[in-house]
Structure 1
Amino acid sequence: MIIYNVTSNVDDSIHEKWMAWMMEDHIPKIMATDKFYKVKIVKVLGDEQHGGTTYSVQYFADSREKLNEYYNDHSPKLRAESAGLFGDKILQFRTELEIIKEFKSV
């Protein structure tokens, strides 16, 4: 399994608009691609030196192939939409993570 992680520092001036867009528009569009089976949005705890609030959005894919299909078929349009709405009010970086093993308490 692969986690596509997008970390975003969101400026306070657009925080509410961004969060509503993520929950009501962006994440549902990504889930509709059928490339990911689960999404988690988590807040990064701690004081931000540069202001704003930081979130990690984790998109879970069954395979590298599905993630690559997302990159090729959907990502450019969705990234452009985000940039058009929020511009430089969001600073982002992306990482890919491979799940090796999960441990759960019994």
Structure 2
Amino acid sequence: MKYIYNITYHIEEAVFPQWQEWIRGHMSRSLQESHFSGLKLLQIHIQEIGSKAFSLQYEATNKEAISYFQSVLEEHYRKELFLQFGEKVLTFATLLEVTEELKQD
């Protein structure tokens, strides 16, 4: 089975350059500290003026990697994000399970 733990970020444009720097460091560090097999950062195209949105997708082959992240790492990361950006960066998380996948050769 394959799982994706998705964290969506809504970032005010005023702090976007600082957030970009933060997320690059966060991705590298969280991949080292977690049990995830990979990470993807995707931009979400929205029409909202004054903000940007991104999806950070943590990939895992088992639920234990997700549980470890949620119980050991996630709260620390959220506090770090809030201390640096306050409410200028908002997040929400979603756990996804890949039930079917097709690829074209």
The CA deviation at 1:34 is 3.6
What is the correspondence of 1:1-106 to structure 2 with a 5 Å cutoff? 1-23=2-24, 25-48=25-48, 51-106=50-105
Deviations 1:58-92 (A, max 9, x none): 11011111110111111111111111111100121
Q: Secondary structure at the match of 2:15?
A: helix
Normalized per residue, the structure richer in strand is: 2
- Structure 1 distance, partners of 2:43, 2:29, is 21
Unaligned runs of 5+ in 2: none
TM-score under structure 2 length normalisation: 0.92
Unaligned runs of 5+ in 1: none
- Structure 2 distance, partners of 1:71, 1:46, is 28
Q: Extract structure 1 runs of 4+ deviating beyond 6 A.
A: none
- Structure 1 distance, partners of 2:96, 2:71, is 19
TM-score under structure 1 length normalisation: 0.91
Q: Which amino acid aligns with 1:88?
A: E
The CA deviation at 1:20 is 1.1
- Structure 1 distance, partners of 2:22, 2:47, is 24
Aligned length: 104
Q: Secondary structure at the match of 1:36?
A: coil
The CA deviation at 1:98 is 0.1
Q: Secondary structure at the match of 1:96?
A: strand
The CA deviation at 1:46 is 3.0
